[in-house]
Structure 1
């Protein structure tokens, strides 16, 4: 028996690019369709999650399971306690992880996933509220849910209409919409986000303070107002921060001298570097920062004024610390 001819493969640059653009077009249409259904059901789902005494338990099989896991992670990182439970494992003991205070968010595009439907009687007896996210409003899961979120799409981006593509994108976007709506309803802030991401770049930017990274005590370069330039240079060399503070008898900052100031002094033949007093060449009223400021504020100040170091002062303008750009780099703030 003759087999049908295999169509030629178009692996040209133009053909591949056209396939990629077609996927974006189809999935953009899918997202627009689902966005048009953000209505009372969406609001009801948000209110169930906000009212939950426990957590949001996300579940789904296959590709829907991957999306459910991502939604749980997004919810948890934006102020809504959540976790993922595999429905197959739930039927073999992991149901014990779900308490009667939890809300269940179940994803199944068909709405007929056996592993999820098997859990429904147990969840009902326990009193859990159920939010379903499906592509079929008349599916078994949609009918059993307290709230149904319709994520049906006009077409999958897969030309065979087999691989979940547009449908998983739509489900993921709906999960993001839920997370952001809840974030705003809870008044969740960037500081709250940083507390759940202490090891990330944002956590470092929002949680690290000047006091955590500054040089303090005897490590702070400083000289008195009666010091000579050469004495200031010795202090700068010893402390290796490329600068020294000039202080009065009460340790109050009156000026700053840096490596850049030294180059300018050498170009100015009015001064004898070995004998001139530091107060004659120092920078008066230098930029400073407080120890309770965020480290990222120091980075912004240095960038704005094109400087590489800062003296840290207290409320009475007494010197309590010092830091330079290398300290910020080591702390991975910049």
Structure 2
């Protein structure tokens, strides 16, 4: 089966990288989940153990029957280990015992690292995209990965890999505001799920994933994104102050406070908050981008140049987003 390259960003990969990625294709399978009315949802799965395929639970949530497809051969899942809140399901597929298993990365990810994603976008041939780690969001004992690797419908449950073809995450959801809000589950959760006993037979799942609950129940990093996307800056500032009051070492809370202050025209206060966020998490490309925007707006040339140089060193691709947002600011929009 051919592998398609999704998005212009994939062209940044060299031929050797593409060849290495193609070697992963046998381990990344299409998932077909059928409900009681015969409707079929399509996603992606990754072989993480002999006959064990990891996918996103929202792909199989309503299913009475699940199959994985490898080179046109459909193999029935007999059971699944479901961690619905984490949106992580492990399918037990006896017929897939010979599917090559991917290597699970055991060392921490770092912001700015290059990534490659592989998934069945729109249910067609597996597609490849590349990008970088933007931010690692602490949640439930892991680090939810925010990256610039684009994916779309059908890629949920697909694999996120480092440049050594080791699995670092399972693609799960895309926040529908902005171009850099792609999120993947950490490989630590996969490793923990593999230690669980086999699950029950396939049946509809109860519960909702952490990213799909009522607004007030979302993790703080998603609450921040939602409020910012809706330009509810005053409410974001109120919540961020509450988070900072609860934990003065919470870098994302300081970042959220700085964003809210900047959007409301309080640049001096925003600079202080954004500097605090970047000092607490010096390798965070998202924090550095917003700090550079604030410095540019305050005509702090030396500070802006220093932050931009740091951003270029950490995540060169993030400079494109910075420049795009600077153009937006120049046009009079909220940065």
TM-score range, shorter chain: under 0.3
TM-score normalised by length of structure 2: 0.21
TM (norm. structure 1) is 0.21
Greater share of residues in helix:
1
